[in-house]
Structure 1
């Protein structure tokens, strides 16, 4: 079990910084940046964010017996909160658990900035677990 959680942390650490560099506009016509001057960062560090996801993740809730993946997406708001948390992947129970694990984290992020002003930023984090 500890090896599996460690695997999750290693995967996150190598991929959390691979963000798409473009500008996205949501339905409210509010600009959400993913190409910014200073990227958003979890207030306690990205390694701690990864640890909290692994800690909150309930593996017993997932129905799988092989390698499964999903991509967690969310927006870091100007005030450091997360919104629009989604997960896409082939295993629905894995997607739901990924969303629940991220939603449980209540600590705020330090928002992204452009010209010293806080801006919204979209994050994508791939998550992979091997149940073999």
Structure 2
């Protein structure tokens, strides 16, 4: 019986681990579609002439794919934060997280990077050399 106990514990743990398999939420069409969506909709704030950085947005993806409680968790200046929030709120419904074959509510965090074309040119020139 003592030899069976470790086997039973391992078996129970592996069954429980499979039962808790979680598929995270994602933008319809995947990461490439999300990047295209951001590139198409994200605008440089008119009231700002310079600056670069990342605005981190968090939100819940509800079990029906709606985005709720969208907020800035780490921001830049107010115009950048507002623009990042605006674009995320434009997003269509996402594919919600799934656990045990059922859609569930889950929290998601996404960094949105703002950069100038000069920064892109500098990065591109460093790749060549």
Class of the TM-score when normalised by the shorter of the 2 chains: 0.5 to 0.7
Structure 2 unmatched ranges of 5 or more: 1-19, 119-129
Greater strand content: 1
- Paired position in structure 1 for 2:31: 46
Residue 62 to residue 47, structure 1, CA distance change in 2 (3 Å): farther
RMSD: 2.0
Q: Which TM-score applies when normalising by structure 2? A: 0.66
Q: How many pairs are equivalent?
A: 97
| CA distance in 2: counterparts of 1:66 and 1:36, whole angstroms | 41
Residue 75 to residue 36, structure 1, CA distance change in 2 (3 Å): farther
Q: Which TM-score applies when normalising by structure 1? A: 0.64
Bigger relative CO (Cα 8 Å, ≥ 6 apart): 1
Greater helix content: 2
Q: CA deviation at 1:59?
A: 0.9
Structure 1 unmatched ranges of 5 or more: 1-34
After the TM superposition, which parts of structure 1 deviate over 4 Å for at least 4 consecutive aligned residues?
A: none
Aligned pairs for 1:39-118 (under 5 A) are 39-61=24-46, 63-87=48-72, 88-105=74-91, 107-118=92-103
| Secondary structure of the structure 1 residue equivalent to 2:23 | coil
| CA distance in 1: counterparts of 2:45 and 2:97, whole angstroms | 35
8 A contact 2:21–2:100 mirrored in 1? no
Residue 64 to residue 71, structure 1, CA distance change in 2 (3 Å): farther
Deviations, residues 36-95 of structure 1 (Å, cap 9, x unaligned): 611112222221122112211121435152322210111110001111111231311100
